[in-house]
Amino acid sequence: MYEFCQVERDGRLLVVTIDRPEVRNALHPPGSAELAGVFDDFAADPDLWVAIITGAGEHAFSAGNDLKYQSAGGDRSARPATGFAGITSRYDLTKPMIAAVNGVAMGGGFEAALACDLIVASQNAMFALPEVRVGLAALAGGLHRLPRTIGSKRAMGMILTGRKVTAAEGHELGFVNEVVAEGEALMAARRWAELILEASPMSVRASKQVVTQGLEQTGVRAASERAYDAVEAMVRSEDYIEGPNAFTAKRPPRWAGH
C-alpha cells in the first residue's frame, strides 16, 4: 500500500515507520505527502488512540530533508500542508504521538520528533538542527518548538551552531523523555503508549489540547479562561461518567473513547 513508509495497526495503537533506509530515512515531498495521508487517516479513525513514528533500521530515525533530491531538482509540488513527515504543521491533532528515535534525527527529522508529544531515544540517537551549516534554516517548527521545550539559551546553543547532541544530553536538556539501549526505542515507545492507553482517550486529548493551545496564550489566566473543544467533548462523553463509576466500584474502567 505504501511506498515510503510501513504502517502497522496494533489494537488502539498505530505504528508508522519511515522506510527509506538507503538515504537514512530522509524525506522528500512525496514521502511527506504519503505520511500526511497516513496521519490524516489516524486523526479520523475513532478506533486509533495513539501513534508512534520511527525509522527503518537501527541507525536513523530521519536524516531530515532529502537534500540530494532537492539539489537534483526533484518535484516539490507534493509538499503537504501538514508539513515535514506530515506532522510538523499538524496543529489540530489531539491524539498523542510518540517519536521512537532509533538513530540519527537531523534537521526535519529532529523537527518531526519535536512535533510529537514524547521522544524516546536509543543510546545511539543523535539530534541536530544543522540547517545553518548548509545555508538553510529549520523552518519546520524546530526554531519555535526547541526554545519552548528547553529554553531559549540552550536552544540557541544548538540552533546557531548546528551542533550534534547525544540522546543522553537530549535527556539532560529536557527534550528526550527516556534513553534506552540501542535497538530498544520502539519497544520503549510501545511501553509509553500502553500507559497512555490505560487512561481515558477523551481526557488525554483534552489534556493535550489544553497544554498545546494554552502555551500559545500570554499567561496562565488567559490559558485557563479560553475554551477548548476537546475539554467540552470530554465533559459530554461516556468516559466522563465511566471513570468515576469505575473508581467507585473499584474496577478497571471500560473507556468508550466518545
Cβ neighbours of residue 13 under 8 Å, at least 6 residues apart? 48, 49, 50, 51, 52, 190, 193, 197
Catalytic center residues: 111, 131
d(CA 142, CA 156): 11
d(CA 14, CA 196): 13
β 126-128/178-180 pair status: unpaired
Instruction: Tell which residue, 14, 160, 148, 165, has the closest CA to residue 87.
Output: 14
d(CA 136, CA 162): 11
